[in-house]
Structure 1
Amino acid sequence: MSILQAAAFSVLLLGANCMTLSAERASTVETRATWKFLGCYTDNVSGRALPNAVSVPGGSAAMQNEACQTACMAAGFSIAGTEYSGECWCGNSVINGGGPAPDGNALCNMKCNGNSAETCGGPNRLDVYSSTSSPSTTSSNTPTSTPGTTGKRGLAYNNNNPSANAGYANLFKGYSKVSWGYDWGYPSWNLDASFEFVPMLWGLPSGPDPKWTAAVQTANTKNILGFNEPDLTYSASSNILPANAAAGYKTYIEPFAGSRGIGMPNVLWNNVGSSSGGNYNSAQWTQYFLGNCTGCHFDFAAIHYYQDCFPANGQSGAEWFMGNVTDAYKTLHLPVWVTEFECYGSEDQQIAFLQQVLPWMDAQSYVARYAYFGVFPGYLLNAAGNGLSKLGMAYATV
């Protein structure tokens, strides 16, 4: 029994549509005149044919094939694919089988949100295109170039401050590597507009929640986060049995599939002990959740990590972290958001940890976003809460 929903997508190959790059991109991105259509491919969230989700200007509502091609090209990829009317996926090769789909273009029939004259894949289908100068389809999906500023870095914050707003998070305004934020809920508390706010449904609602629906349907909402640590049982976790979490996803989150990027539940991926529901770890909790969430659509995995900066026996906390993130990707076959992570140690030890893991995450095509814990005095802020700490400056600039 498949535990993950198959998603169809159409892959775009540079060849058919004339493209014009903006003046800003012209200096850094080679102009390509055409994209070649590769066909209608079968996609699957357990093994993406194109592993890198990207956004286009205007969000999913503005999706069209040319916009996706431009976004993929700017990110250093040579293959682009549109899916579910408003999703854009990129890579340098089509992997995990994928297609072309055995029934041809039959299910690549969803009109692009930004151009009703085009199709942008469909349910379980991806429209795929490739650059005329693309690598072989057996090559790696590593970007051909790694931008100096990735925009992957985010802020985990709340409104627990004297002004009861996002003032702490807004201290990071102007640092180009920091692009998004979330607060374990869905009011943003006036997060500055320069950051993308990502609403989270922290736990199971007791019933329909119009405020959640309104937050997700806000024009600037591009992605949504699901339950916070439902795999754990301590007081600050949402502590939800896998089957109940799956039922909650189907009711409150799945209705937005295709219009918003949907994250899997935020689980502590390095938990090797018992978890919500029984004597099994968080990775197993996730598998039980997926087994119950039949028909669910996921765009990215969301994981947490907490461990010593320098574990016992002289081992490297940075190596532990990188191995853990890699394991999550290899297990779930989805782009990874590390929505909480921290190493336990002195400020200097944490900075040394970040100096290793931040460049590594920025260089990994499958790490889509991450947020260090957290935007609070004594952490990424100084004790007074009126500026960045030394650790915060390292997070913003490394």
Structure 2
Amino acid sequence: MGFPAMRALAISALALQGACLAIDRDAAPTIEARASWTYLGCYTDNVSGRALPNGEQVPGGTNAMANELCQSTCQADGFTLAGTEYAGECWCGNAIGNGGALSTNPSSLCTMTCKGNAAETCGGPNGLSVYQYGSSSPPTSGTGKRGLAYNNNNPTANAEYANLFAGYSSVSWGYDWGYPSYNLNPSFEFVPMLWGLPSGSDPGWTAAVQTVGTKNILGFNEPDLTYSGSSNILPANAAAGYATYMEPFAGTVKIGMPNVLWNNVGSSSGGNYDSAVWTQYFLGNCTGCHFDFAAIHYYQDCDPADGQSGAAWFQGNVTNAYNTLHLPIWITEFQCYGTDAQQVAFLQTVLPWLDAQSYVARYAYFGVFPDYLVNSAGTGLSDIGMAYATT
């Protein structure tokens, strides 16, 4: 799947007993504990490509602007960087982007007096006075296992929401169920996916795999399922597709197995058998295929009705996938159904466990959308998103 609405269809088709997602936006945001705000310097900025992407309205409006007010506003919305510009503008983000560079001549760029504090400088027409919470240097590329399942369904038709995670070291990669990256922040590794079987030769897919920086590729999204948002491919056809579109790149990039819903115990594409059996049939037909890792999905209640632990269910499912497939595991989609607080508690339990398992290579919680990992306004991380980025 690639969109929240499609996931709802999947739940219905699989008859999973998922609780309704109840969003609690009154809960206080969990802000990662950092040291204090540090001045990074004067950065170049322009309206066609902002060094920090998110404009914020501070209490009192532009006439009240001061560096501290901008910083507290950005922090409350889950950002690590704050920048003031043109005496009354506040910009937030988690990494410097769009070519913004430390100015060699700040005296000509950052010279305007803050409208709310005449003793401070709030950038200039093309200069951004940038501050960071807890570090003396801008964020660098992530090194952790965590990834971002995102799309371009936002006001900029870009990777705007995914880029909110730039600067969190635990997050290192992203994918969007396809192969345009939509300008994903370069601090993340973009992983292209061939979502379903092409109708013929696909030069766009070949070009995406051969793009400089491509290290891993994903193939076929939920081919084991039959709902409208799945790729719904018979095992033998999926094997033939892998031989044609994936296997030619063996040895040049790492190839993942099809992304299957490993905890599906109902029917699947091709018959009245579950996704694990679909995978066995696929492997039986793909005898000449090379795989570097397995890719699985997981969806279930945070707190199952029978009183068992949702986190334990998830851990057991991931362990079973590894013991069955004997490959490094990527969990390219997973989510537990519950309130914000239940999801945060789930993540706080399973994320350290995932990071500690040597056979778990990467994982991505669903998903980078408003009211999921992003707040309802799309301007910063939600409570769940902050837990995902900082636990």
Does structure 1 residue 163 correspond to structure 2 residue 143? no
CA distance in 1 between counterparts of 2:224 and 2:297 reads 11
Name the structure 1 match of 2:303: 310
Name the structure 2 match of 1:286: 279
In structure 2, list runs of 5 or more residues that go unmatched.
1-141
| SS in structure 2 of the partner of residue 212 of structure 1 | helix
| SS in structure 1 of the partner of residue 276 of structure 2 | helix
| SS in structure 2 of the partner of residue 251 of structure 1 | helix
Whether the aligned pair in 2 keeps the contact of 1:150 and 1:362 (CA below 8 Å) is no
| SS in structure 1 of the partner of residue 374 of structure 2 | coil
Equivalent positions of 1:81-96 (< 5 A) are: none
User: Which of 172, 179, 198 matches 2:172?
Assistant: 179
Deviations along 1:86-141, one digit per CA (max 9) or x if unpaired, are xxxxxxxxxxxxxxxxxxxxxxxxxxxxxxxxxxxxxxxxxxxxxxxxxxxxxxxx
| SS in structure 1 of the partner of residue 194 of structure 2 | coil
Equivalent positions of 1:181-196 (< 5 A) are: 181-196=174-189
Gap change, CA 1:364 and 1:150, over 3 Å in 2:
farther
Counterpart AA for 1:171 = L
Per the TM alignment, residue 219 of structure 1 is displaced from its structure 2 partner at its CA by 1.1
CA distance in 1 between counterparts of 2:374 and 2:229 reads 22
Name the structure 2 match of 1:260: 253
| SS in structure 2 of the partner of residue 394 of structure 1 | helix
Per the TM alignment, residue 370 of structure 1 is displaced from its structure 2 partner at its CA by 0.1
Equivalent positions of 1:1-398 (< 5 A) are: 151-398=144-391
CA distance in 2 between counterparts of 1:244 and 1:268 reads 18
Counterpart AA for 2:337 = Y
CA distance in 2 between counterparts of 1:384 and 1:219 reads 34
CA distance in 2 between counterparts of 1:284 and 1:224 reads 23
CA distance in 2 between counterparts of 1:225 and 1:397 reads 26
| SS in structure 1 of the partner of residue 363 of structure 2 | strand
Deviations along 1:124-161, one digit per CA (max 9) or x if unpaired, are xxxxxxxxxxxxxxxxxxxxxxxxx8610000000000
Whether the aligned pair in 2 keeps the contact of 1:337 and 1:369 (CA below 8 Å) is yes
| SS in structure 1 of the partner of residue 168 of structure 2 | coil
CA distance in 1 between counterparts of 2:264 and 2:381 reads 30
Gap change, CA 1:237 and 1:260, over 3 Å in 2:
same
| SS in structure 1 of the partner of residue 220 of structure 2 | coil
CA distance in 1 between counterparts of 2:370 and 2:143 reads 26
| SS in structure 2 of the partner of residue 312 of structure 1 | coil
Counterpart AA for 1:264 = M
Per the TM alignment, residue 313 of structure 1 is displaced from its structure 2 partner at its CA by 1.6
| SS in structure 2 of the partner of residue 167 of structure 1 | coil
Counterpart AA for 2:153 = N
Structure 1 outlier segments of 4+, above 6 Å: none
Deviations along 1:205-263, one digit per CA (max 9) or x if unpaired, are 00011110000001100000000000000000000000000000000000000000000
| SS in structure 1 of the partner of residue 240 of structure 2 | helix
When the two chains are superposed, the root-mean-square deviation of aligned CA atoms in Å is: 0.7
Whether the aligned pair in 2 keeps the contact of 1:157 and 1:375 (CA below 8 Å) is yes
Counterpart AA for 2:191 = V
Per the TM alignment, residue 294 of structure 1 is displaced from its structure 2 partner at its CA by 1.1
In structure 1, list runs of 5 or more residues that go unmatched.
1-148
CA distance in 1 between counterparts of 2:303 and 2:320 reads 20
CA distance in 2 between counterparts of 1:170 and 1:180 reads 11
| SS in structure 1 of the partner of residue 161 of structure 2 | helix
The TM-score with structure 1 as length reference comes to 0.62
Deviations along 1:321-356, one digit per CA (max 9) or x if unpaired, are 000000000000000000000000000000000001
Whether the aligned pair in 2 keeps the contact of 1:229 and 1:265 (CA below 8 Å) is yes
Counterpart AA for 2:321 = A
CA distance in 2 between counterparts of 1:284 and 1:207 reads 28
| SS in structure 1 of the partner of residue 306 of structure 2 | helix
Counterpart AA for 1:279 = N
Whether the aligned pair in 2 keeps the contact of 1:155 and 1:374 (CA below 8 Å) is yes
Per the TM alignment, residue 365 of structure 1 is displaced from its structure 2 partner at its CA by 0.1
Name the structure 2 match of 1:130: none
CA distance in 1 between counterparts of 2:227 and 2:378 reads 28
CA distance in 1 between counterparts of 2:181 and 2:201 reads 20
Max radius of gyration: which structure?
A: 2
